Chains A and B, each alone.
Chain A
Amino acid sequence: MKILCLTGTSHYQFNRLVKSVDVTLGPKYSVIIQLGNTNYKVKYSESFNFCKKNELIKLITKADIIITQGGYGSMMDSLLLNKKVIAVPRKLELNETLHDQTEHVEYLSKKGFLIGCYNIDNLSSLVIKLLSNEVSLSSFKPESELKIKTIVEDFIDRKIKL
């Protein structure tokens, strides 16, 4: 059972997530943590700060479960590879981000694409639920990209012809 934990490229620390993953899941599973700018000293897991995008995609592909911050890039990369994702939003009031991630995580979680974890103490029980298939997730469909591409393309065509 391989777990990959992602904190993205944020300027802020995410000790709350990294500590919980390391302490509660590190001793039980094979865990790799992408620390980003978090400086928590990991004890039970493998860890690194940043890596190249293609290496990250390889790591995501190999993992069974992704536990990620609620950032757009980290969540989309994982969902597009059809992974089981638990997302923990960075919170504004805990000084973990400039832009609170709760709303986007709630949105994706209501659609059934991933599991939102809003209380870090529930993290390991969510992992167990996911492993025992107690919760089922629907496969992710990137809803808006195509439409945006068309709008952008039309706009550029019109502006260039003028």
Chain B
Amino acid sequence: MIKKNIVGIASGGGHLSELQNIIPKSIKNEITYITCKNGHTKESLKEEKHFFIIDPHISRFKYFINTCQAIILFLKLRPSIIISTGAGIAIPFMILGYFLGSKIIFIESGASISTLSKTGEFMYKYANLFIVHYTHLLDKYPNSKIGSL
């Protein structure tokens, strides 16, 4: 069995719930999570391998810190696959992965019905697999896969 280095990265709250909900059982033991640190995430990731990274939200300075942390974590984990549901917290890590040979899976939030989130819009051209929930998003972004039934 080939070792898979898989990283799941998302901001705390709904994005993280969404990511945890769509992780298939077959990779549950191989995934390392990266998220922001708060009481809620500490608890829900208690039994998973995880690291914390600063949530930049809209601050450029925090994006800089986030990028530095992303570089350190990337060198440590060397993921072959990166899975994310957003938001901005995950962008530097995914871009690093894109240039250093990881495969990027981006799953747009189920909350985005007719327009992509800002992170999704940005990541569309970098993701190797881009999943949306709704058919009218599929029309607008034809390289996506549709996740809805």
Give me the interface of A with B, judged by CB distance under 8 Å.
Answer: 8-11, 50-54, 56, 70-74, 76-77, 98-99, 101, 103-104, 107, 142-153, 155-156, 159-161
Contacts and interface: CB of A to CB of B under 8 A. Distances in A.
Contact of A145 (B21, B83, B117, B118): B21
B70 to A, nearest CB: 20
Given A72-B15, A152-B23, A156-B4, 20 more contacts: A8-B13, A9-B38, A10-B13, A53-B40, A53-B43, A72-B111, A73-B14, A73-B15, A101-B111, A107-B113, A142-B21, A148-B107, A148-B131, A148-B147, A152-B22, A152-B24, A152-B83, A153-B24, A156-B6, A156-B81
A104 B131 contact: no
A146 B2 CA distance: 25
A50 B12 CA distance: 12
- What 5 A-B pairs come out closest when comparing CB atoms? A73-B14, A9-B13, A72-B14, A52-B43, A148-B147
Interface of B: 2, 4, 6, 12-18, 21-24, 26-27, 38-40, 42-44, 57-58, 80-81, 83, 103, 105, 107, 109-114, 117-118, 128-129, 131, 133, 145-149
17 contacts: A8-B13, A52-B39, A71-B13, A99-B118, A101-B111, A143-B148, A144-B110, A144-B147, A148-B107, A149-B23, A151-B129, A152-B83, A153-B24, A155-B103, A155-B105, A156-B27, A159-B80
Contact of B117 (A71, A99, A150): A99
B54 to A, nearest CB: 13
Contacts of B40: 9, 50-53, 56
Contacts of B44: 52-53
B17 A73 contact: yes
A141 B118 CA distance: 27
Nearest to A106: B113
A136 B51 CA distance: 43
Contacts of B2: 160-161
